Structure 1
Amino acid sequence: MNIIELFEELKIDKNNILLASPEDIIRIEKQINVEKRINPDIDVNVANNLILALKDYRQELYFIASNRILYTLFSKKNYSRHHFPPLQREYDAEKIQSFINQFLNDDLVLYFDQNLSQNKFDMINDIFDFKNCFPEDALFQLNKKLNIKLDSVLVNLSQNNSENNSAISYVEYRSFYVLLSYFSSIEMDDKIRSLVNIVSERYNANKLSDFYTTCISSMQGYVAFDPGLTSILVRNREAAVSNSIERSSSGSSSGMSGKSIFFIVIAVLKVLFLFAKCSSH
Structure 2
Amino acid sequence: MNIIELFEELKIDKNKILSYSSDDIIRVEKQVNVEKRINPDIDSNVANNLILALKEYRKELYFIVSSRILYSLFSKTNYSRHHFSPLQDYDVEKIQSFIIQFLNDDLVLFFDQNLSQNKYDFINDIFDFKDCFPEDALFQLNKKLSGKLDAILANLNQNSPNAEVIPYVGYRSFYVLLSYFSSIEMDSKMRSLVNIVSERYNANKQSDFYTTCISSMSGYVAYDPNLTAILVGNREAVYSNSIDRGASSSSGGMSGKSIFFIILAVIKILLLFSKCSSH
TM-score (structure 2 length as normaliser): 0.89
Q: d(CA) in 2 for partners of 1:15 and 1:248?
A: 57
Deviation digits for residues 91-122 of structure 1 (CA, Å, limit 9, x no counterpart): 11111011001100000000000000000000
> 1:140, CA displacement in angstroms?
0.6
Q: d(CA) in 1 for partners of 2:160 and 2:126?
A: 35
TM alignment of 1:188-267, pairs within 5 A:
188-251=186-249
Q: d(CA) in 1 for partners of 2:246 and 2:117?
A: 33
Match of 1:168 among 145, 166, 172: 166
> 2:172 touches 2:216 (CA, 8 Å); kept in 1?
yes
Q: d(CA) in 1 for partners of 2:207 and 2:87?
A: 45
> 2:68 touches 2:84 (CA, 8 Å); kept in 1?
yes
Q: d(CA) in 2 for partners of 1:160 and 1:110?
A: 35
Secondary structure of the equivalent of 1:17? helix
Unaligned runs of 5+ in 1: 255-281
TM alignment of 1:38-53, pairs within 5 A:
38-53=38-53
Q: d(CA) in 2 for partners of 1:169 and 1:67?
A: 33
Deviation digits for residues 16-46 of structure 1 (CA, Å, limit 9, x no counterpart): 1100000000110011011111111100000
> 1:87, CA displacement in angstroms?
2.9
> 2:197 touches 2:210 (CA, 8 Å); kept in 1?
yes
Q: CA RMSD in A?
A: 1.3
Aligned to 2:31: 31
Q: d(CA) in 1 for partners of 2:80 and 2:128?
A: 18
- 1:173 corresponds to which letter in structure 2? Y
- 1:237 corresponds to which letter in structure 2? R
Secondary structure of the equivalent of 1:18? helix
Aligned to 2:256: none
Aligned to 1:159: 158
Q: d(CA) in 1 for partners of 2:95 and 2:87?
A: 15
Deviation digits for residues 156-175 of structure 1 (CA, Å, limit 9, x no counterpart): 0000314x111001000000
Aligned to 1:74: 74
TM alignment of 1:98-137, pairs within 5 A:
98-137=97-136
Aligned to 2:185: 187
- 1:101 corresponds to which letter in structure 2? I
What is the percent sequence identity of the aligned residues? 80
Q: d(CA) in 2 for partners of 1:215 and 1:87?
A: 38
Secondary structure of the equivalent of 1:27? helix
Q: d(CA) in 1 for partners of 2:203 and 2:147?
A: 28
Q: d(CA) in 2 for partners of 1:165 and 1:234?
A: 23
Q: d(CA) in 2 for partners of 1:249 and 1:195?
A: 30
Q: d(CA) in 1 for partners of 2:147 and 2:34?
A: 46
Q: d(CA) in 2 for partners of 1:124 and 1:160?
A: 33
> 2:63 touches 2:87 (CA, 8 Å); kept in 1?
no
- 1:143 corresponds to which letter in structure 2? N
- 1:215 corresponds to which letter in structure 2? C
The answer to whether residue 141 in structure 2 is matched with residue 142 in structure 1 is yes
Number of equivalenced pairs: 252
- 1:186 corresponds to which letter in structure 2? I
Structure 1 residue ranges (4+ consecutive) displaced by more than 6 angstroms after TM superposition: none
Unaligned runs of 5+ in 2: 253-279
